[in-house]
């Protein structure tokens, strides 16, 4: 299947994805929409996109479009995913899927009801390195995993004063923007839900500028995370098991080809593994189209709800202390 795509939004993420659509073998970018026709037309002209729309409704109503990429502020994800599903459009939605687990569940339910595919845009899940690490975990190369350390921080110079990630009414804050990577990485590693979580952080301007904490699992494993807008750029994942450790320096956005990670085991030389893989965003788009072809329901939407339940609890913990989760 060659999917005909439309993009909702003309911001930073939308512009970054435009050339990625052109690299995917089963994707054709045909339209983009903004709240005003002038802004959409400017981007369409610069990027050579055939159609421009001055409203999101007009784009999702266009019969020549099969799927939409929702690249809007977090607070608008649920509304426009549900509206797009009602127009029988498949949806690739930026992370986090929604500001809360309840919103995400409503999105999943709407897409299931309308029989369209919903996927969260966590592109790191589609990288060949991620699949390689998963196989090593499943083969117990590290033994039993006991500790996971995950981080995603960016420098404050990366954000303009009016950045949507600093606006509470738009679903801003570091837990939702960056913590969703670290927390989902921990859940992905343990392949389980935590029993208790705890977080601390620093609030400013109505959003958490930084956060850190832990997730405790029933088997005794613990995942530690930190995220925020106040530290240098860090995107690491470290997995510690009873028989070895994996360290990934650039987990979420590998900047080099091949992408690497290191395996440490007792009494052995450090092993560097290198995966000469394609851009993970291209892999994501192609995987999305194949899921539609096969009639699959990608796991990422289900996992997004699981992750948001934990993020909801971590946000509560920022205010009230340790939170116990019922699974």
Q: How many Å apart are CA 23 and CA 15, to the nearest integer?
A: 14
The H-or-E segment that residue 82 falls in is helix 77-86
- The DSSP annotation for 298-314 comes to -HHHHHHHHHHHHHHHH
Catalytic residue among 88, 89, 95, 140: 95
Closest residue by Cα to residue 107 from 305, 296, 295: 305
Name the β-bridge partners of 6: 31, 68
CA distances 3 to 9, 28, 64, 169, Å, are 19, 6, 10, 33
Q: Among this protein's residues, is 95 annotated catalytic? A: yes
Q: How many Å apart are CA 189 and CA 144, to the nearest integer?
A: 11
Q: How many Å apart are CA 105 and CA 107, to the nearest integer?
A: 5
Catalytic residue numbers read 95
């Amino acid at each position: 299947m060659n999917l005909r795509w439309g993009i909702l939004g003309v911001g930073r993420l939308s512009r970054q994805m435009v050339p990625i659509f052109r690299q995917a073998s089963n994707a054709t970018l045909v339209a983009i929409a903004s709240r005003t026709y002038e802004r959409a037309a400017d981007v369409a002209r610069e990027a050579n996109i055939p159609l421009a729309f001055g409203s999101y409704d007009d784009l999702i109503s266009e019969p020549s479009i099969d799927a939409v990429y929702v690249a809007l502020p977090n607070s608008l994800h649920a509304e426009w995913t549900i509206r797009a599903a009602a127009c029988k459009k498949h949806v690739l939605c930026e992370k986090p899927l929604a500001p809360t687990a309840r919103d995400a569940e409503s999105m999943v339910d709407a897409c299931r009801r309308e029989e369209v595919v919903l996927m969260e845009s966590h592109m790191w899940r589609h990288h060949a390195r991620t699949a390689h690490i998963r196989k090593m975990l499943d083969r117990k190369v590290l033994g039993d995993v006991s500790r996971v350390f995950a981080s995603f921080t960016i420098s404050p110079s990366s954000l303009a004063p009016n950045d949507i990630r600093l606006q509470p009414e738009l679903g801003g804050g570091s837990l939702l923007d960056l913590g969703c990577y670290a927390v989902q990485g921990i859940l992905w590693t343990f392949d389980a839900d935590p029993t208790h979580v705890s977080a601390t952080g620093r609030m400013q301007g109505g959003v958490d500028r930084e956060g850190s904490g832990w997730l405790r699992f029933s088997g005794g494993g613990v995942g530690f995370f930190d995220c925020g807008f106040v530290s240098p750029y860090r995107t690491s994942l470290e997995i510690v098991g009873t028989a070895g450790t994996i360290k990934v320096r650039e987990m979420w956005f590998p900047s080099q080809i091949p992408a690497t990670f290191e395996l440490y085991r007792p009494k052995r030389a450090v092993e560097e593994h290198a995966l000469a893989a394609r851009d993970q965003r291209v892999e994501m788009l192609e995987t999305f189209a194949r899921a539609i072809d096969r009639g699959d329901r990608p796991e990422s939407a289900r996992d997004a709800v699981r992750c948001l339940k934990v993020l909801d609890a971590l946000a509560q913990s920022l205010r009230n202390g340790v939170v116990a989760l019922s699974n």
